[in-house]
Structure 1
Amino acid sequence: MNKVILMGRLTRDPEVRYSAGENSIAIARYTLAVERRFKKEGEATADFISCVAFAKQAEFADRYFRQGMRIIVSGRIQTGSYTNRDGIKIYTTDVVIEEQNFAESKSHTENGEKAQSNAPMMPEDANGFMNIPEGIDEELPFS
């Protein structure tokens, strides 16, 4: 099974190109900075994962994703290689995107802090998910 699920921040805006030919499709490339769960002293605290999306997923990324946004993606790892202009073989590893979603609300600023709002806020845990108060099960549309 080849399945990858990642959550991270975009290191830059997606770069979108279109394939050649009569039925061209959009191809979006972006890099996710994914924080490491456990940090060792002197080591980098994030991995930078190359992602590629095709067709409607690429168009969605182009329209809505911007540098610094936290997103969740799922897909598969694909390896490949090519020979560069100097005749050196280059090996590549990409996550081919099957699904992608926002991982934070629009109320978050680009630097990850919450924007000020007068609306009452639900308390969030350390991962940014809302805590649902006890005793409101009957008000939820699912259970």
Structure 2
Amino acid sequence: MASLNKVMLLGNLTRDPELRYAPNGTPIANFGMAINRRYRQGEEWREEVCYIDIVTFGRQAETVGEYLSKGNLAMIEGRLQWRSWETEDGQKRSKHEVVANNVQFMPRMQGDGGGMGAPGGGRADSASAPPSRNTYAPPRDTMPPPEMPMPEDDDIPF
């Protein structure tokens, strides 16, 4: 049976990364992310937030610890992992977390009063307004040329 464990997330850090080192010297960074989902329910716009714990290792963990902080926007690629442990008082605990293979630092968005780049990922406008739609038109020099007529057999040199 085939399986796939791949996670891609884009969201804001909910806390500063905590950098520590394993007994063998491997750097480990832990941080939380908030991923917002905006949807329409009837005539109202709603927003739900999913909080995810992220862990990363090695040089990437050191880089995350140095350059990211609470409120920064980041894109995470990794895998979902189930972790369980026992507390000092004997309670069993467990949780899902994302082990990040790639952390992409994202620029802060400017212009619409905050947007996703604002700390906490909030919007400055009211909850009843629809989300802004960014439109993209490719530069003119990258657009395909207009349709050209097909040459006749007599026009082909071979």
Q: Mark yes or no: TM-score above 0.5.
A: yes
Residue of structure 2 aligned with 1:16, choices 19, 25, 28: 19
Q: Is the 8 A contact 1:12 1:66 kept in 2?
A: yes
User: What CA distance in whole angstroms lies between the structure 1 residues aligned with 2:84 and 2:10?
Assistant: 26
User: What CA distance in whole angstroms lies between the structure 2 residues aligned with 1:44 and 1:135?
Assistant: 37
Equivalences, count? 123
> Does 1:27 pair with 2:32?
no
For residues 123-142 of structure 1, what are the structure 2 equivalents within 5 Å?
126=132, 131-137=136-142
User: What CA distance in whole angstroms lies between the structure 2 residues aligned with 1:70 and 1:39?
Assistant: 24
Instruction: Give unmatched runs, 5+ long, in structure 2.
Output: 123-130, 144-158
Q: Which structure would you say has the larger Rg?
A: 2
Equivalent residue number for residue 155 of structure 2: none
Letter matched to residue 25 of structure 1: T
For residues 81-92 of structure 1, what are the structure 2 equivalents within 5 Å?
81-92=84-95
For residues 1-143 of structure 1, what are the structure 2 equivalents within 5 Å?
1-21=4-24, 24-38=25-39, 45-105=48-108, 110-111=118-119, 126=132, 131-137=136-142
Q: Is the 8 A contact 1:39 1:45 kept in 2?
A: no
Q: Using the aligned pairs only, state the percent identity.
A: 32
Shift of 1:52: 0.1
Tell me the SS of whatever aligns to 1:28: strand
Pair 37,106 (structure 1): closer, same or farther in 2 beyond 3 Å: closer
Pair 55,39 (structure 1): closer, same or farther in 2 beyond 3 Å: farther
Equivalent residue number for residue 147 of structure 2: none
Q: Is the 8 A contact 2:72 2:108 kept in 1?
A: no
Instruction: Give unmatched runs, 5+ long, in structure 1.
Output: 114-124, 139-143
TM-score (norm 1): 0.72
Pair 73,126 (structure 1): closer, same or farther in 2 beyond 3 Å: farther
Q: CA-atom RMSD, angstroms?
A: 3.0
